[in-house]
Amino acid sequence: MGRLLFLLVLIALAVWLWRHFTRPARPRASGRPEQEAKPMVRCAHCGVHVPQERALSHEGHWYCSQLHLTQGPQRGER
C-alpha cells in the first residue's frame, strides 16, 4: 500500500513538473499602464473608422482626410 501511494505521488510530481516546464512563459507585467482604447469616428464620405484625435470635424460630420472634408458627406446607402 505504501509503494502504491509513493508511486502515485511520484507520477503526480512528474506530471506537474512536465506541465510547468513545457507551458509557454507568461508575459511579465511592465511598469507602464495598459493603453486605453481611443474613441473612433466614421468618415462621413467613405465610411472608414479613424481615431477621433486624427479625424477632421466640420458641421457635425467627421472626415478621415482633408480631401474628403472638401468633398463633403457621401450621399447614398451609407
Cβ–Cβ under 8 Å, residues 63 and 69: yes
Per-residue pLDDT at 56 exceeds 50 = yes
> What's the pLDDT score for residue 77?
46
pLDDT single digits (tens) 3-50: 999 999 999 999 999 998 888 777 776 666 667 888 999 999 999 999
Residue 19 cell numbers, joined:
506541465
Per-residue pLDDT at 78 exceeds 60 = no
Per-residue pLDDT at 59 exceeds 60 = yes
Query: CA-based angle 42:46:47, to the nearest 5?
Result: 30
pTM strictly above 0.85: no
Identify the residue with better confidence: 71 or 33. Answer: 71
